[in-house]
Amino acid sequence: GLGPVPAHSLAAEILPGSEEGAEATKEALLKSVGKVTDVVSSLGFSWWQGGPPHTQTLQELHRVLETLLLSTFTSWKAFFPLVQENPSGSYTFITGGAGERLLMPGTGFLTLGAAGTLAFCQVVREEYPDVPCKLNEVKIDMGVATPERLRPSYVSHLEVGEAVASLVEKGSVSHAVLCARSPADLKTLTLEGKI
């Protein structure tokens, strides 16, 4: 869980789209920490700018979909059962705005994969309307970078982490899409646990 005491962390490789990798990671985590109360899924939103679709191969589209969508699905399938019946537990997806628009020329496959992930998050919210755990999506609709790589209109990954931790700790919303479009939105999320 997240809270004032640092949560245990476990670094493990999940092969994109691999149910076996996700299950192995879950088992290793359970062995290491015992009980999981909150899951934050921020998988697959790495940058892709390989060019226009007609210059790409079907294999590249498969690779991008595995990275952006299938890893989100396999992780959810493995970890959601650990928290879904816990009224004080949560499952939070971290997404972005790339699924709603072409960010720039050559990013079409990023848009396709990210749109699939946005749709998957919507499906989960609507398929599980009455689960006891909190089920949310935090959509970061701006650039995120490490502090040394910040640019205008970007936010630090540390700020995003604090905001998501506050959402999880406060548990004040469920089945919501919380859109952070500015640093002010993240501050509100950090202070109030909602936007």
**pTM for this structure?**
0.88
- The pLDDT tens digits of the residues spanning 11-33 come to 344 454 589 989 999 999 999 99
The domain locations on the chain are: 19-192
Q: How far apart are CA 32 and CA 107, in angstroms?
A: 39
The model's pLDDT over 110-122, given as tens digits with 9 standing for 90+, comes to 999 999 999 999 9
Q: Which CATH number fits domain 19-192: 3.50.50.60, 1.10.730.10, 3.40.50.720, 3.30.470.20?
A: 3.40.50.720
- List, for residues 92-103, the tens digit of each pLDDT value: 999 999 999 999
